Each structure stands twice: as C-alpha cells, then as structure tokens.
C-alpha cells in the first residue's frame, strides 16, 4: 500500500511540550546533570523529602540509542525500591540480555519516526523491568505504566512485547509492539507533565470528587463498565490520539511481519470506538478544564479526527483480517 501523504503541520500537535529532559526535571525543581536515578530524586522532592533516599535502592546502567542516552534501573542497596514504586503485586527486577536487546531494538525503530522519538527522548530517561512477586498468585502482570510521582521512568513487564491496548494480544513477541508501548508511556509522561505544570484543569478540580465516565471497553467483575475520573479520561484520550497516528504510520509502511500487522490492525479497529467515546466525554465535561486545558482538548479532538479519517481509509483498504486473540494485561 502506498504511503499516505499528510501535511507536516498535522504532526505538530504530536510534538513534546517540553524542550528537553533537563527542562522537565527543572520544572520539578531538580537541576543539574541528568542521570538514570533522577526520576527517584524527583519522587523524593515531590514528597517533600530533604534527602534522596529512594535512589539508595537502585542502580542505573547507561546505554545509548540514536545519539540519546537512556538508563536501565536495577534494584540494589539498602533502600526499599519496591515500596517507593508501590506497584501492588510487582517488583522491579534486573533486565536480562534478551530484554535489554529488545528495548534497544524498539528504541531504534522509534528513532526512525522523528515525532515519536522526540516524545520518548524528552519524557523517558529510565527503564525499569517489573515482574509479579511471590505473593501475586493469579494476578495478571501490568503491561506497562507511568507513575505521576516518578516522572521520566517507564515501568514495564515482558507482556509489553505482546499486548497493545485496548485489547489486542499477539501470539508472539514483537519489537514493534514494545516500541508502541514505549511511545505510549512517553505520552503518559507528557500528559502528567502538562497537568502538573500547565494547569490543564480548573483550580477547584479534584480527582477524588471528579465526575465519573463509563468506560465501555473496560469491565468490572460483574460485567458493568468501569468508571474513570476526568483526568484519567484526558490521559487516555491523549494517548489514543497519539497511538492512532503511530498505528497509521506502521500500517501504511512495509517491513512489518504479518502477525504484528494483524495485531496492530485489530487494535486500530478497536481504538476508533475508544477515541470517539473519550473525545465525547471530554466535550461533555468541558467546564472542568481551564482555558489552557480547553485549548489542549480542542487541539486533541481536531488532531484525532484527521488521523481517525486517515486510519479508517487505511483499514478499509487493507485485506481482510482474522479476529485476534482477546485479553489484556492489567494496569491500563
């Protein structure tokens, strides 16, 4: 299928708001040379601590991709890293060589998409591999996550090589699926940063008392839809808006194995409905957003509509795709 030409200006809203990682760290009150442990130093600052105790439980090992430095997080020392991270049923573990290689390959793939890699290199410095701990019998592992109080760090499990949201799971591992999940988490970090530094919501907004939005594709144990606060809906809408552009790019270019393409195709079909629901919810609760937030929502909806239409054309033009296996990791 020939590449779908879209004007360059359509990609501008996909650009990171911050100019650099250093600017992100500085906005949280941390200046100086960046390292892989900076996310944990910011965590301590956000908790009002005078010391940098969280880094006592971790080591950072650097690696370079496409001229950018990243770090692997390893649990170490006398600190209690897992307590500070607080991912129930999970622990941070040292990455083995195969997973390190996969992340390197995924970042290399991202570096071929400048607007996606710009987001990643701005909002992620560190990678922390997680696994279920010995007390998590029967629990599904988190695919990946970003924590508002530990910016610049992506936490992920090996499931990130197979699962992409909302509900697509591949039968085999794929570097491109991992690349999407890395991009996904960089957008979450981008949104976290906006909420904290730009005043996206009105001054009296409180997540604890937020209006709740039914999420049709996420079910409770009784089969009823989950309900999300508006800040979580904003997060999800921003992420899916960016993922539509990413998936469009992957589906319109060659070089993707058939199983990965089918997984991304199915996720794209599912995400069209998801994006429409999320956008409608944001519009219905526009009064919760500040003038800056309303502008961001407007930009998002305009961007999403353009890429939705392009994605629909792409999906309709592709060959028939058999249904994929359903199921997800938890956490998103």
* pTM of the shown model: 0.90
User: What pLDDT does 8 receive?
Assistant: 63
User: What pLDDT does 232 receive?
Assistant: 94
User: What pLDDT does 7 receive?
Assistant: 62
Q: What is the pLDDT of residues 101-157, one digit of tens each?
A: 999 999 999 999 999 999 999 999 999 999 999 877 778 999 999 999 999 999 999
User: What pLDDT does 218 receive?
Assistant: 87
- What ranges do the domains of the chain cover? 14-161+175-198, 202-323
The residues, any chain, with a CB within 8 Å of residue 13's CB and separated by 6 or more, are 299, 300, 302, 303
Query: How many residues are present in the chain?
Result: 332
Q: Which residues of the chain have pLDDT under 50?
A: 1-3, 319-331
- Structure-derived torsion over alpha carbons of residues 167, 169, 173, 174, reported in degrees to the nearest 10: -50
User: What pLDDT does 9 receive?
Assistant: 66
Q: What is the pLDDT of residues 157-184, one digit of tens each?
A: 999 999 999 889 999 999 999 999 999 9
Give 163's strand partners.
Answer: 169
User: What pLDDT does 4 receive?
Assistant: 52
Q: How far apart are CA 268 and CA 271, in angstroms?
A: 5
User: What pLDDT does 14 receive?
Assistant: 82
User: What pLDDT does 2 receive?
Assistant: 47
Q: Are 121 and 21 contacting, i.e. CB atoms less than 8 angstroms apart?
A: yes
């Amino acid at each position: 299928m020939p590449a779908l030409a879209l004007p360059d200006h359509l990609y501008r809203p996909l650009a990171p708001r911050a100019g650099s990682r250093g600017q992100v760290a500085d906005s949280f009150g941390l200046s100086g040379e960046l390292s892989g442990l900076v996310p944990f130093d910011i965590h301590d600052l956000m908790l009002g601590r005078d010391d940098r105790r969280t880094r006592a439980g971790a080591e950072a090992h650097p690696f370079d991709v496409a001229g950018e430095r990243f770090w692997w997080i390893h649990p170490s020392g006398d600190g209690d890293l897992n307590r500070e991270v607080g991912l129930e049923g999970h622990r941070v573990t040292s990455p083995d060589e195969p997973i390190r290689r996969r992340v390197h390959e995924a970042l290399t793939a991202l570096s071929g998409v400048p607007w996606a890699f710009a987001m990643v290199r701005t909002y992620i410095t560190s990678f922390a591999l997680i696994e279920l701990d010995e007390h998590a019998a029967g629990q599904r592992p988190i695919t990946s996550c970003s924590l508002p109080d530990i910016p610049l760090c992506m936490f992920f499990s090996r499931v990130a090589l197979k699962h992409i949201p909302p509900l697509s799971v591949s039968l085999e591992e794929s570097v491109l699926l991992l690349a999407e999940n890395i991009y996904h988490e960089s957008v979450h970090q981008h949104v976290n940063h906006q909420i904290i530094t730009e005043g996206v919501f009105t001054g009296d907004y409180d997540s604890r008392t937020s209006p709740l939005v039914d999420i049709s594709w996420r079910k409770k144990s009784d089969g009823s839809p989950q309900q999300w606060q508006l800040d979580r809906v904003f997060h999800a809408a921003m992420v899916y808006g960016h993922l539509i552009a990413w998936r469009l790019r992957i589906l319109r270019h060659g070089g993707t194995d058939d199983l990965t393409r089918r997984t991304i195709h199915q996720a794209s079909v599912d995400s069209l409905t998801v994006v429409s629901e999320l956008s409608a919810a944001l519009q219905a609760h526009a009064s919760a957003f500040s003038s800056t937030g309303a502008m961001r929502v407007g930009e998002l909806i305009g961007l999403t509509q353009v890429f939705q239409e392009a994605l629909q054309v792409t999906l309709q033009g592709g060959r028939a795709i058999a249904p994929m296996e359903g199921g997800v990791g938890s956490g998103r």
